[in-house]
């Protein structure tokens, strides 16, 4: 099996800011796996939050003797490197078989899913303008976790009075701040809050009322995470760069639903190649958040289709 990894850069349509910083481009790793006749591709986004860099993940990929997906699960831990390789191997299997990945996985043919659109963190007036520009979208996501959260949230609601809103605190609140904010989140029609507390401090949620659904993001990586989430969260956010690929993402989805959690499917900022496998995981999810390509000024040659029906399954030329 031949494996190559390249670094690709995609310009963003505008500066994108969250509480951890700003960026003007998405830097991703593209993996190609070939058997000499067919090839498959996958994409990952190394995440500094988990100690990953473009260099470290590239080294992980290059140091792995790739044979098949089953072996890969034991060879690499959950994370960006395994994600790119796992998704590339799924794509390769589909190309070999002349079938779609969902057929190989025993899944129903996917249909479009409405996706959230994330507003960049900014001053309240600017966020109200962003919200008004995107008020036609049915679901908006706001990155919070700052001292001025309420002013920003009020501004977004004023700009998009009819949109569903979800908020992502990015581990930026304390239990006290969340308890104070929760009634206002309800008043403003927020449908869900992601990761209000730092992952290492979320035991406090055991004693906090959850008047609206609370979603585990940084606290949930793969199936091994589920045991520690009981009594704290209502929803788990499945991201392929956290699970280490589609294989574990599908298993986490099954396990989470069986244990009574709702599912959100999220993404890092990447191209359509990174989102394509996640569309399969997002089928029937409570929340789909696969807007990465919508934030780009440029994308892959055969991008995903986004329209009023949502994000569509990939064409085989892209993936799967």
pLDDT of 143 reads 87
Higher-pLDDT residue of 16 and 139 is 139
Kindly report, as residue ranges, where domains of CATH 3.20.20.120 are found in the chain: 117-311
Poorest-pLDDT segment among 177-191, 228-242, 246-260: 177-191
230 flagged as catalytic: no
For 186-202, what is each residue's pLDDT tens digit? 999 999 999 999 999 99
141 flagged as catalytic: no
Phi and psi angles of residue 127, each rounded to the nearest 5 degrees, phi first: -70, -35
pLDDT of 36 reads 95
Residue 28 and residue 81 in contact, taking contact as beta carbons nearer than 8 Å? no
Mean pLDDT computed over 43-48? 95
Residue 242 and residue 195 in contact, taking contact as beta carbons nearer than 8 Å? no
Q: Is the pLDDT of residue 71 over 90?
A: yes
pLDDT of 179 reads 86
Two tokens, residue 75: 């060879």
Q: Domain 2-100 falls in which CATH fold?
A: Enolase-like; domain 1 (3.30.390)
Q: Is the pLDDT of residue 21 over 80?
A: no
For 98-144, what is each residue's pLDDT tens digit? 999 999 999 999 999 999 999 988 899 999 999 999 999 999 999 88
- Domain 117-311: give its CATH code: 3.20.20.120
Mean pLDDT computed over 45-73? 96
pLDDT band at 19 (very low <50, low <70, confident <90, very high): low
Model pTM?
A: 0.95
Residue 237 and residue 194 in contact, taking contact as beta carbons nearer than 8 Å? yes
Kindly report, as residue ranges, where domains of CATH 3.30.390.10 are found in the chain: 2-100
Per the residue annotation, which of 95, 141, 239, 242 is the catalytic one?
Answer: 239
The response to whether 262 counts as a known ligand-binding position is no
Q: Is the pLDDT of residue 17 over 90?
A: no
Per the residue annotation, which of 95, 141, 143, 232 is the catalytic one?
Answer: 143
Q: Phi/psi zone of residue 200: left (φ > 0), alpha (ψ -120 to 50 degrees), beta?
A: alpha
Burial classification of residue 177, based on how many CB atoms lie within 10 Å of its CB (0-12 exposed, 13-18 middle, 19 or more buried)? middle
Q: Is the pLDDT of residue 33 over 90?
A: yes
The response to whether 168 counts as a known ligand-binding position is yes
The response to whether 217 counts as a known ligand-binding position is yes
């Amino acid at each position: 099996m031949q494996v190559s990894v390249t670094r690709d850069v995609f310009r963003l349509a505008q500066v994108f800011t969250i509480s951890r910083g700003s960026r003007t481009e998405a830097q991703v790793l593209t993996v190609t796996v070939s058997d000499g006749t067919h090839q498959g591709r996958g994409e990952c986004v190394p995440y500094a939050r988990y100690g990953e860099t473009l260099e470290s993940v590239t080294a992980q990929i290059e140091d792995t003797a790739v044979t098949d997906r089953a072996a890969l699960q034991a060879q690499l831990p959950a994370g960006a490197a395994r994600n790119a390789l796992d998704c590339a191997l799924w794509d390769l299997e589909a190309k070999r078989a002349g079938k779609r990945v969902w057929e190989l996985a025993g899944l129903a043919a996917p249909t479009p899913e409405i996706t959230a659109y994330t507003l960049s963190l900014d001053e309240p007036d600017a966020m109200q303008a962003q919200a008004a520009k995107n008020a036609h979208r049915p679901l908006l996501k706001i990155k919070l976790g700052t001292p001025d959260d309420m002013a920003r949230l009020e501004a977004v609601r004023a700009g998009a009075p009819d949109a569903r809103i979800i908020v992502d605190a990015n581990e930026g609140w304390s239990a006290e701040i969340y308890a104070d904010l929760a009634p206002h989140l309800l008043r403003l029609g927020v449908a869900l809050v992601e990761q209000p507390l730092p992952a290492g401090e979320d035991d406090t949620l055991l004693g906090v009322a959850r008047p609206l659904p609370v979603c585990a993001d940084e606290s949930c990586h793969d199936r091994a995470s589920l045991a520690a989430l009981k009594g704290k969260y209502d929803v788990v956010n499945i991201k392929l760069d956290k699970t280490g690929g589609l294989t574990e993402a599908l298993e986490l989805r099954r396990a989470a639903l069986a244990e009574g959690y709702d599912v959100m499917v999220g993404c890092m900022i990447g191209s359509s190649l990174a989102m394509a496998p996640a569309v399969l995981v997002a089928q029937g999810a409570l929340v789909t958040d696969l807007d990465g390509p919508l934030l780009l000024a440029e994308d892959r040659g055969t991008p995903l289709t986004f329209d009023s029906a949502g994000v569509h399954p990939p064409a085989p030329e892209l993936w799967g």
